[in-house]
C-alpha cells in the first residue's frame, strides 16, 4: 500500500521472523555468541530465554542458516507433547526413520542414527522453541536424550528456547539433574531507547527506504509504547506508515505514532502499567474486579523482576566466560615465553689439605750409639 509512496522495495516492518532482517544489537550479538559457544564446544544443554516478541525465533533461524550445511539440525516447534511424542518428533525431524510405539526401539533408532553421524564427523543438534510449554515428563525426556554420549563429546546437542517461565520450570528441584546439564544460558532483554532508534533505522534501510523517515520524537514515542519489544515496534511502525501515507505526510511524526497508540488502546501498554481508569462495575463485582487488577499488577511486577534477574545472571555468566578466557590466554602466554636458564648453585667443596708423611722421631743418645756401633748413620 505505502511501499511505492515511500520508495520501499518491500515492507520494512513485518512480524514474520526473517533472519535477513535480524538486527544485531549488543544483546543479540551476545546471545548469538552464547549459542555458538554452547554448540561448538559440545559441553551440554544451551538455554535461550526472552519475553514475547524479543526476537528469539528470528535469532534461532539466523543460527540455523549458519550451521545447517555443516550440521544435522532438528527443530521442534510443537511443545505441547508427551515425552514419547517429543522423541518421535525428533526422529522424524532428523529423518532417521519412522518411529513406532516402542520407546526402547525408538531410542535405539535415534542412537544408531547419531552414532553414524558421529562417525561421519557431523554434529547433531535439536532446537526446541517455545520450550516453556514442555511438560515435566517431556523435560525429563530431554534429560535422557542428553545422556547419549560419544567417546569425546555428546552425540546430541540440545538448545531450549522459550519465555522467562522456562527458567522457573528448570529451577524445579525435581529437574535438578536436567539443570545440572545446562552449560550456557542467556536472557534476551528488550531494546533500550538508543537500540530502538538503531533498529527502526536498520529496518527502513533494509527495505530500501530513508533511515530518517521517522522523526526522532516519533521513535521516542514508539519506544515508550512498545517497551523496546521488536515485534511491537514492528506493529506500531507499520501502522504509523499506513497513517502517514493516508495523510500524504513526508515523514512519520510523534503525533502520528500517538494516534496509532490511542487507536490501539491498551494493546501497547508497557509492562507493569495499568490503565488509569477501570471499567465501571456493579457493587457486587467491585471486590473481585479489584482483586483481578491487583493480581494482574503483581504478575506484571513478577515478570519485570524475573527479566532483571535473568539479565543479571547473564551478565555474571558473561564475566565468568571473560575471566576463563583471560586465564587461558595468560596460561598460553606463560607457556610460550622462554624461561630463563637456571644456574644451579655450587655446593661448597671443603678445602682438602695435603697429608704430610709422618716424620720418624729423632733418635736420642741411645739410638745414636747403637747405630754407630753397627755401622749405621751417625
Helix boundaries (H) for 122-207:
136-145, 165-170, 176-179, 193-206
Domain ranges of the chain: 26-190, 193-266
Q: What is the pLDDT of residue 98?
A: 92
Looking at per-residue confidence, does 224 or 17 come out higher? Answer: 224
What class is the 26-190 domain?
A: alpha beta
| Residue 134: other Cβ atoms inside 10 A | 24
What confidence score (pLDDT) does residue 148 get?
Answer: 84
CA distance 213 to 230: 18
DSSP helix/strand/coil, 183 = strand
What CA–CA distance (Å, rounded) separates 219 from 252? 9
In this prediction, residues 22-38 reach a mean pLDDT of: 89
Q: Using one digit for the tens of pLDDT, what is the confidence trace for 159-193?
A: 999 999 999 999 999 999 999 889 888 999 999 99
How far apart, in whole angstroms, are the C-alpha atoms of residue 90 and residue 105?
A: 14
Give me the chain's average pLDDT, please: 80
Gap between the Cα atoms of 144 and 303, Å rounded: 30
Q: What is the DSSP letter of 127?
A: E
Q: Higher confidence at residue 215 or residue 330?
A: 215
Maximal C-alpha separation, the chain: 159
Average pLDDT for 67-71: 81
What are the angstrom distances between the C-alpha of 162 and each of 61, 132, 186, 199?
Answer: 14, 5, 11, 23
Q: Report pLDDT for 375.
A: 54
Reference 60, options 160, 157, 170; nearest CA is 160
Tell the CATH topology of 193-266. Helicase, Ruva Protein; domain 3 (1.10.8)
pTM as predicted: 0.68
86/79 Cα distance (integer angstroms):
8
305-350 confidence digits (pLDDT tens): 555 555 555 556 555 656 766 776 777 777 776 655 555 555 555 5
How many other C-beta atoms are found inside a 10 Å radius of the C-beta of residue 195? 20
Following DSSP, what letter does each residue of 319-376 receive, concatenated? HHHHHHHHHHHHHHHHHHSPPPPPPPPPPPPPP-PPPPPPPPPPP-HHHHHHHHHTT-
CB neighbourhood size of 54 (10 A): 25
Amino acid at each position: 500500500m505505502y511501499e511505492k509512496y515511500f520508495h520501499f522495495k518491500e515492507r520494512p516492518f513485518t512480524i514474520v521472523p526473517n533472519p535477513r532482517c535480524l538486527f544485531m544489537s549488543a544483546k543479540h550479538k551476545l546471545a548469538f555468541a552464547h549459542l555458538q559457544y554452547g554448540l561448538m564446544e559440545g559441553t551440554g544443554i544451551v538455554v535461550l530465554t526472552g519475553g514475547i516478541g524479543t526476537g528469539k525465533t528470528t535469532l534461532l533461524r539466523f543460527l540455523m542458516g549458519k550451521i545447517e550445511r555443516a550440521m544435522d539440525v532438528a527443530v521442534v516447534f510443537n511443545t505441547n507433547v508427551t515425552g514419547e511424542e517429543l522423541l518421535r518428533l525428533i526422529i522424524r525431524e532428523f529423518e532417521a526413520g519412522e518411529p513406532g510405539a516402542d520407546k526402547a526401539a525408538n531410542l535405539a533408532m535415534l542412537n544408531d542414527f547419531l552414532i553414524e553421524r558421529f562417525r561421519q564427523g557431523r554434529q547433531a543438534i535439536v532446537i526446541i522453541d517455545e520450550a516453556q510449554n514442555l511438560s515435566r515428563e517431556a523435560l525429563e525426556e530431554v534429560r535422557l536424550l542428553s545422556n547419549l554420549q560419544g567417546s569425546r563429546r555428546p552425540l546430541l546437542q540440545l538448545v531450549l528456547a522459550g519465555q522467562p517461565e522456562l527458567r522457573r520450570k528448570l529451577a524445579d528441584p525435581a529437574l535438578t539433574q536436567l539443570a545440572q546439564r545446562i552449560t550456557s544460558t542467556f536472557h534476551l532483554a528488550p531494546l533500550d531507547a538508543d537500540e530502538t532508534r538503531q533498529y527502526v533505522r536498520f529496518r527502513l534501510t533494509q527495505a530500501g527506504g530513508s533511515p530518517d523517515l521517522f522523526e526522532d520524537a516519533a521513535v521516542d514515542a514508539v519506544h515508550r509504547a512498545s517497551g523496546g519489544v521488536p515485534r511491537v515496534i514492528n506493529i506500531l511502525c507499520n501502522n504509523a506508515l499506513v497513517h502517514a501515507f493516508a495523510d500524504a505526510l513526508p515523514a512519520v511524526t510523534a503525533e502520528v505514532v500517538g494516534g496509532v497508540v490511542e487507536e490501539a488502546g491498551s494493546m501497547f501498554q508497557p509492562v507493569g502499567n495499568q490503565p488509569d481508569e477501570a471499567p465501571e462495575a456493579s457493587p457486587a463485582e467491585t471486590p473481585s474486579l479489584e482483586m483481578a487488577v491487583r493480581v494482574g499488577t503483581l504478575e506484571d511486577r513478577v515478570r519485570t523482576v524475573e527479566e532483571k534477574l535473568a539479565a543479571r545472571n547473564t551478565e555474571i555468566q558473561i564475566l565468568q566466560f571473560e575471566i576463563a578466557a583471560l586465564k587461558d590466554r595468560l596460561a598460553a602466554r606463560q607457556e610460550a615465553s622462554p624461561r630463563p636458564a637456571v644456574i644451579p648453585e655450587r655446593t661448597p667443596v671443603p678445602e682438602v689439605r695435603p697429608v704430610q708423611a709422618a716424620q720418624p722421631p729423632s733418635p736420642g743418645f741411645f739410638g745414636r750409639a747403637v747405630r754407630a756401633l753397627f755401622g749405621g748413620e751417625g
